[in-house]
Amino acid sequence: MGSQQQQPELAPVGWVESPLRDLAAAPKQGDEGAPNAWLVLDESLLAALNGLAVGDRLLVLTWLDRARRDVLEVFPRGDRSRSPLGVFATRSPDRPNPIGLHRAEVLAIEGNRVQVSELEAVDGTPVLDLKPVLSEDVGER
Amino acid sequence: MGSQQQQPELAPVGWVESPLRDLAAAPKQGDEGAPNAWLVLDESLLAALNGLAVGDRLLVLTWLDRARRDVLEVFPRGDRSRSPLGVFATRSPDRPNPIGLHRAEVLAIEGNRVQVSELEAVDGTPVLDLKPVLSEDVGER
């Protein structure tokens, strides 16, 4: 694929600071009662937050470091009475590249710390990226 | 962060096969005329596609291997008459972890090949993950 290609090696940009410490207690999706959390970014990346504002809607990408990467099929929501589904047809954290995708709203910004609403990621989860939500993401054309 | 933590090393699950070969010709977003493309997945991951169907709405995660990872601020859409913004407030491909997030619809599935609509990623781009779109992603509660 050409000499320009980089190795896809991730460098976390920060981590999640959350009261959520127990994986078993984590809700399956953020709209089921996840707590607010802080994203603590590396101080060297402060300029990358320029323009971000309270009220902005974000997609927070995380590295789900406790997930299993060798799982290809899962029982949706852990229900073994249902047929297993391929992980690419589900939002299971277990998948070849366990990248978490969380929709959240910016509640506060304090230097390199960004508070976001209802984040279903446990304390210490590495943060990979923040992206603003686009109208395209939500199906508006 | 505990002994359970894995190194966040990505393993691409496949690559993009697209008529789009020129970065300069790539549209900024998929709704501006990107072509349909095929996601060619590693054959060992076939089971991970189980349950995926034509018509499904997907989020395709890619590794934007030609992006610059040391850029923290950009001029939105390349317009230098505007103020620079931090990359976390934009969807610039240049960012510390250049993970592309593309919304697309499944048009066809042929074995380990998945055709998707309007993907703004050049031919050969590594694919990291496929996720179904959830109502939460589009703001439905």
pLDDT at B27 over 80: no
- Tell which phi-psi region holds residue A45, choosing left (phi > 0), alpha (psi between -120 and 50) or beta: alpha
Smallest Cβ distance to A63: which of B8, B15, B86? B8
**Min distance A68 CA to chain B CA atoms (Å):** 10
Length of chain A in residues, anyone?
Answer: 141
Which of A61, A89, A101 is nearest residue B51 as measured by Cβ atoms? A89
Nearest Cα residue in chain B from A138:
B138
Superfamily of domain A14-132: YaeB-like (2.40.30.70)
- Structural tokens at position A35: 């707590």
Residue spans per domain, chain A: 14-132
Amino acid of residue A97: N
Q: Which of B15, B31, B86 sits opposite A51 (nearest CB)?
A: B86
B126: helix, strand or coil: strand
Residue B69: exposure state from Cβ atoms within 10 A (0-12, 13-18, ≥19): middle
Whether ipTM exceeds 0.90: no
Gap between the Cα atoms of A131 and A108, Å rounded: 16
Is there a contact between A128 and B47 if contact means CB atoms under 8 Å apart? no
Cβ count near B96 (within 10 Å): 25
Within chain B, residue ranges assigned H as helices are none
Task: Tell me what the mean pLDDT of segment B82-105 comes to.
Answer: 95
Single-letter amino acid, residue B11 = A
Contacts of A129 in chain B (CB under 8 A): 88, 95-97, 99
The whole-angstrom separation of Cα B123 and Cα B64 is 11
Give chain A positions within 8 Å (CB) of B12. 8
pLDDT higher than threshold 70 for residue A136: no
pLDDT at B127 over 50: yes
Looking at this protein, which amino acid is placed at residue B88? Answer: F
Task: Please tell me the predicted confidence (pLDDT) of residue B35.
Answer: 92
Residue B140 has pLDDT above 50, yes or no: no
Closest residue of chain A to B16, computed from CA coordinates: A1
